[in-house]
């Protein structure tokens, strides 16, 4: 079929249909692949951010242990690893070194409720500070 297309001397638009279909399919595949990869990356980021002390973690280097401390400001965590005889060592890793974890992200509803509680606590603290300022002014 393609040899016939090359042999034809006419510039009919019908001869370009197979090429157009292939190009459209390739573009659709790349777009779908890109969107799928973004979703996976977002889900993994949420899971990594759910790591808390007590979570089991496997690093990209193959080190397995239990998280004992998480520092969200530095984006790091401390991993406790060792044997069953009580010989433990503690190592500090960047969160990007996590390969697998048993940490489960909080449901969206719980996160929304937590944010509301934090907002209420901040408002209460601001009100107390304003009351304190008013008392000092008097």
pLDDT digits (tens, 9 = 90+) for 20-69: 999 999 999 999 999 999 999 998 888 888 889 999 999 999 999 999 99
Angle 98-69-65 (CA atoms, 0-180°, nearest 5)?
A: 50
pLDDT of residue 4: 58
- Best CA proximity match to 64, nearest among 87, 95, 105, 98: 98
What is the signed CA dihedral for 42, 43, 48, 54, rounded to 10 degrees?
A: 160
pLDDT of residue 114: 62
More confident residue, 105 or 93: 93
48-53 contacts: CB < 8 A, separation 24 or more? Answer: 48/95, 48/96, 48/98, 48/101, 48/103, 49/95, 49/105, 50/101, 50/103, 50/104, 50/105, 50/106, 51/77, 51/95, 51/98, 51/101, 51/103, 52/103
More confident residue, 10 or 26: 26
pLDDT of residue 20: 92
Average pLDDT over residues 13-17: 82
The per-residue pLDDT of the chain, averaged, comes to: 83
What are the structure tokens assigned to 21, written together? 């279909």
How many other C-beta atoms lie within 10 A of the C-beta of residue 63?
15
Using the predicted structure, report yes or no on whether residue 123 has a pLDDT greater than 70: yes
pTM: 0.55
What is the signed CA dihedral for 10, 12, 18, 20, rounded to 10 degrees?
A: 130
State CA 70 to chain mean position distance.
Answer: 16
pLDDT band at 122 (very low <50, low <70, confident <90, very high): confident
pLDDT of residue 109: 47
């Amino acid at each position: 079929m393609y040899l016939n297309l090359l042999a034809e001397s006419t510039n009919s638009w019908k001869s370009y249909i197979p090429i157009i279909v292939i190009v459209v399919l390739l573009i659709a595949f790349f777009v779908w692949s890109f969107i799928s990869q973004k979703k996976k990356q977002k889900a993994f980021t949420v899971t990594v951010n759910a790591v808390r002390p007590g979570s089991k973690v496997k690093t990209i280097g193959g080190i397995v242990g239990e998280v004992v401390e998480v520092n969200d400001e530095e984006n790091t965590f401390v991993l406790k690893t060792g044997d069953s005889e009580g010989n433990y060592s503690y190592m500090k890793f960047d969160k990007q070194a996590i390969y697998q974890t048993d940490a489960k992200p909080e449901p969206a509803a719980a996160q929304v409720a937590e944010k509301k509680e934090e907002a209420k606590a901040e408002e209460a603290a601001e009100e107390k500070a304003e009351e304190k300022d008013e008392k000092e002014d008097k």
